Amino acid sequence: MPDGAQINTVTFTLNDEEVTVPEGFSIWEAANGQGLKIPHLCHKPAKGYKPDGNCRACMVEVEGERTLVASCIRPVSDGMVVKTESERARKSREMVVELLAADQPEVKHDAASHFWEMADLNGVTTSRFPKKAPDVVPLLDDSHVAMRVNLDACINCNLCVRACRDVQVNDVIGMSGRGATSKVTFDQDDPMGGSSCVACGECVQACPTGALMPATVLDENQAGDSKDFDREVKSVCPYCGVGCQIKFKVKDDKIKYVEGIDGPANEGRLCVKGRFGFDYIHHPHRITKPLIRREDAPPKGLNVDPGNWHTHFREATWDEALDFAAGGMAKLRSEKPTYVAGFGSAKCSNEEAYLFQKLIRQGFGHNNVDHCTRLCHASSVAALLENVGSGAVSATFNEIENADVAIAIGCNPLENHPVAATYFKQFTKRGGKLIVMDPRGHGLKRFASHMLQFKPGGDVSMLNAIMHTIVEEELYDRQYIQAFTEGWDNMKDHLEGFSPEKMAPICGIEAEVLRDVARTFAGANAAMIFWGMGVSQHIHGTDNARCLISLALMTGQVGRPGAGLHPLRGQNNVQGASDAGLIPMFLPDYQTVTDDGVRSAFTDVWGSEDFSGQKGLTVVEIMDAIHADDIRGMYILGENPAMSDPDSDHARAALAKLEHLVVQDIFLTETANYADVILPSSAWYEKSGTVTNTNRQVQMGRPVTPPPGDAKEDWWIEVELAKRLGLNWTYTHPREVFAEMKLNMASLDNITWERLEETAVTYPSLSPEDPGQPIVFMDGFPRADGRAKFTPASVVPPDETPDAEYPFVLITGRQLEHWHTGSMTRRSTVLDAVEPEANCSLHPRSLRDLGVEPGDYIRLSTRRGSVTVLARADRAVAEGNVFLPFAYVEAAANILTNPALDPYGKIPEFKFSAVRVERADSPVAAE
């Protein structure tokens, strides 16, 4: 053991042989370790699944016991004498399977099911027992688009219940009724599709019989075979920052279905997007050939049907398209290098992110390169770099396992980081206290010890009041503060003015609650803080993050197991892309561009001239610069600013104004509507490369299927453009890029491409064998003197407050099924079917006041524009607020949002706009 703890062992007799195993091993585990396969049905030897011992298919005989023993659930004890092959034991195992086989349906929902495999192992093919009365056998439930429920094959093994309750903690599945008529039910015996099921599919992965199957595996007769595939490929999920590892089952070069595998972040779990959201790669909208804007195309606008682009674009060869793309950029460069700016992508690999920033810096000599981190955690990163000296998480989210208190603020992990959320929910089931702070009473509320549903924008007042109490009641960690921080006295003085009583009306949380939270957090043995866009996407986003950092520092809740700061990263590779320097102020590893030595270290490796030492422009600033004619061409790789930038009309007008826009993507996105040339790239599942998740875990992505048509891997396109821009690039494989990155990225020390082909590695990794450090700042911070800093924050009101004309508060965000601008998820059959159209949510009382029925359409208007959208009634949303997801082009939330920026992180205030809400007529679907 790494901590040197002694493992106690027990020795017992297994089929006449002495066997020694660690204490706590079950008989089944011990036997399995000896290569002995005891049949099992309800037992799933996987992380998170407790043995249940209910199926009785694994019975063994233990000397001296009256009855047989379920080997899966009985711990081995010293001197125990176990016989697995006694006549009694065999008979029980066989008959259990025979009893169950009697009621198996004629049609095998899964011809390769674990159940039939185990029946074979027992030599059972038929049953002598009469069947159940047909009227008690449940019928097909095909109400869910992603899964089929055929409970006629169910053996009541309870694995789906454990999957849903213990592992994912979604609590949708129960075992209702009693005895022979007990059955698996969703909510209150509702059809799966009408239940509160979030379609994580854990139950499908756990089911041993085929009673629960991915719909894609079954035919119209409900027959299927889970082993019917050509190959299995392991890769990483393309969606959020959790970085779940997935195994793909591929048949005829198409993904048939997937399973979660034991990655460090997900331990086999997936969410609906990871499990069922893969078929976007097979969507007919994929661009398969380079496209060049036609001479006779209509003026640029959001006017291209992505399924039928021929009116605007023509196909081209790669050579022509690359020459055209690079030529246009080179022409602008020759006029003025800063005429060309670039947006790279947080969705591509580390290598591709690195190449992208290198292409702008080396090819154009400036730093006007950014990506969507600007729109998510730029303010968090600014505060982290400022105060603890590193922009990444201080502890993995899995560390919550060692915590007893946690704060989740401004994040809705149930929808945005669903697999991370499973660990949070498990933490509360173990008795951990979860303090949820959010203007929305979202799904974590049910698990919270404290739910602080504060007023939008009230973060700093609330957090300062909590810290005020910690100071007032001297709950802070004096020793830690003395040893590891600076600026404490100043901070203490500052906090004096923020008593809970004074802050309560500002944040909307009662003073006593604020005090209780302060005591709870400060009284923790180990506590973590998780946050998301609700913290960062404000003009005071950096201040919000500063408060969280200060709170952790004053209580000494950093740098220990179960303690730490964790901004939940939104994109699969936003951590990696930021690490790789896809930021205007930083080169890889957050080394500042203003430092001559830093730049020369890179130009030495690149073999090129120095480039600008000035910090570049950020995402929103680049849009403004286009309007100001300072930027005239852009290279946009895998980003969709026409949807993701605030004040979309303004952003789209900027894109339309560009003289030369190169878009590299897998679909004709809203941004590609404005392109002069579109370079078709491979989807994540179609290429090799590494990604870094929110936990700092670097993982290998592998090609699962070939790209369609002539689509190419992004790194290849980048290299070809670079060559045409006169750069000396010779890369032939991402591993060469990775090797180059290591030269100037200490974070990648001890991490090699070869290692990553074998296993995920967390950075920092202290040796070639070290799997990586889940916790950093154990003995100080990467700042001067090793000390972290307290930076006081004052209350800054939102940029735009509600008034008589715009009386509601608009909060934008995401929904479980749709990911960011929807370009992938809305082209995934399952995800699109579950959430088919733009919607917003208001409190039922707000709707009543407006005279609007749930399901009716409303018009939302801000000072920037208006959209019409279906209204949902949702008690989670506070009265007077509107929640609007931004994934939907037909009611694009960012038409409404305020582009006002946080002065430090340069992040727009997506989370707060003043909005007017009115009834609207129902639109009629054109299709």
Site for other proteins in 297-356 (CB under 8 A): 301-307
Here's the x/- map for other proteins, 431-450, by CB under 8 A: it reads as ---------------x----
635 vs 678: CA distance, rounded Å: 10
Q: Is 294 in the site for other proteins (CB under 8 A)?
A: no
* DSSP string for 51-103: ----S-TTEEEETT-SS-EETTTPBP-TT-EEESS-HHHHHHHHHHHHHHHTT
Instruction: Answer yes or no: are the C-beta atoms of 112 and 225 closer than 8 Å.
Output: yes
Q: Which stretch binds other proteins (CB under 8 A): 246-254, 258-266, 498-506, 847-855?
A: 847-855
Give Cβ neighbours of residue 361 (< 8 Å, ≥ 6 apart): 367, 369, 587, 602, 611
Give the full edge-to-edge strand order of the sheet including 313-315: 313-315, 291-293, 677-680, 660-665, 633-637, 340-343, 369-370
User: Angle at the Cα of 905 (from 902 to 910), degrees rounded to 5?
Assistant: 50
Tokens of 364: 């154009």
When the beta carbons of 121 and 233 are compared against other proteins, the nearer one is: 121
Chain centroid offset of residue 379 CA = 19
Min CB(299)–other proteins separation in Å: 11
For the four alpha carbons of 634, 637, 638 and 639, in that order, the dihedral sign comes to negative
Q: Which stretch binds other proteins (CB under 8 A): 223-231, 617-625, 727-735, 866-874?
A: 866-874
Interface positions, 777-836, toward other proteins (CB under 8 A): 822, 826, 833, 835-836
Residue entry with tokens 């740098």: 559
Interface positions, 888-927, toward other proteins (CB under 8 A): 888-892, 895, 922-927
- 62, 197, 325, 372: which one contacts other proteins (CB under 8 A)? 197
User: Angle at the Cα of 138 (from 135 to 141), degrees rounded to 5?
Assistant: 140
| Alpha-carbon radius of gyration of the chain | 29
Closest CA to 874 of 912, 846, 894, 915: 846
Q: Is 10 in the site for other proteins (CB under 8 A)?
A: no
Q: Provide the 3-class DSSP secondary structure of residue 746.
A: helix
Q: Is 849 in the site for other proteins (CB under 8 A)?
A: no
Q: Which stretch binds other proteins (CB under 8 A): 31-39, 226-234, 472-480, 871-879?
A: 871-879
Min CB(901)–other proteins separation in Å: 23
Q: Strands 59-62 and 173-176, how do they pair?
A: unpaired
400 vs 564: CA distance, rounded Å: 9
Min CB(836)–other proteins separation in Å: 5
- 81, 105, 171, 736: which one contacts other proteins (CB under 8 A)? 171
Min CB(919)–other proteins separation in Å: 14
Q: Is 866 in the site for other proteins (CB under 8 A)?
A: yes
Q: Is 53 in the site for other proteins (CB under 8 A)?
A: yes
471 vs 491: CA distance, rounded Å: 10
Tokens of 718: 């980048």
> What are the start-end ranges of the H helices in 336-475?
350-364, 373-376, 378-387, 413-416, 418-429, 459-472
Dihedral angle computed from the Cα positions of residues 278, 280, 283 and 288, in that order, rounded to the nearest 10 degrees: -110
When the beta carbons of 174 and 391 are compared against other proteins, the nearer one is: 174
Min CB(72)–other proteins separation in Å: 10
Q: Is 178 in the site for other proteins (CB under 8 A)?
A: yes
Interface positions, 641-660, toward other proteins (CB under 8 A): 648-649, 652
Q: Is 627 in the site for other proteins (CB under 8 A)?
A: no
Min CB(685)–other proteins separation in Å: 22
Q: Is 700 in the site for other proteins (CB under 8 A)?
A: no
- 78, 189, 595, 757: which one contacts other proteins (CB under 8 A)? 189
Interface positions, 363-382, toward other proteins (CB under 8 A): none
527 vs 764: CA distance, rounded Å: 22
Q: Is 155 in the site for other proteins (CB under 8 A)?
A: yes
Closest CA to 332 of 766, 707, 635: 635
- 226, 373, 644, 673: which one contacts other proteins (CB under 8 A)? 673
Q: Which stretch binds other proteins (CB under 8 A): 170-178, 324-332, 403-411, 679-687?
A: 170-178
Q: Which stretch binds other proteins (CB under 8 A): 98-106, 511-519, 531-539, 697-705?
A: 98-106
Give Cβ neighbours of residue 2 (< 8 Å, ≥ 6 apart): none
Element (H, E) at 323: helix 318-335
Q: Is 190 in the site for other proteins (CB under 8 A)?
A: yes
- 282, 519, 863, 875: which one contacts other proteins (CB under 8 A)? 875
Element (H, E) at 360: helix 350-364
Total binding residues toward other proteins, as defined by CB under 8 A: 101
Min CB(918)–other proteins separation in Å: 12
Instruction: Answer yes or no: are the C-beta atoms of 425 and 447 closer than 8 Å.
Output: yes
Min CB(272)–other proteins separation in Å: 11
Min CB(301)–other proteins separation in Å: 6
Amino acid present at 175: M
Min CB(372)–other proteins separation in Å: 20
When the beta carbons of 187 and 279 are compared against other proteins, the nearer one is: 187
Min CB(910)–other proteins separation in Å: 18
Closest CA to 290 of 34, 662, 686: 662
Instruction: Answer yes or no: are the C-beta atoms of 876 and 445 closer than 8 Å.
Output: yes
- 25, 118, 167, 174: which one contacts other proteins (CB under 8 A)? 174
Q: Is 128 in the site for other proteins (CB under 8 A)?
A: yes
Q: Which stretch binds other proteins (CB under 8 A): 62-70, 355-363, 592-600, 706-714?
A: 62-70
Q: Which stretch binds other proteins (CB under 8 A): 124-132, 479-487, 605-613, 753-761?
A: 124-132
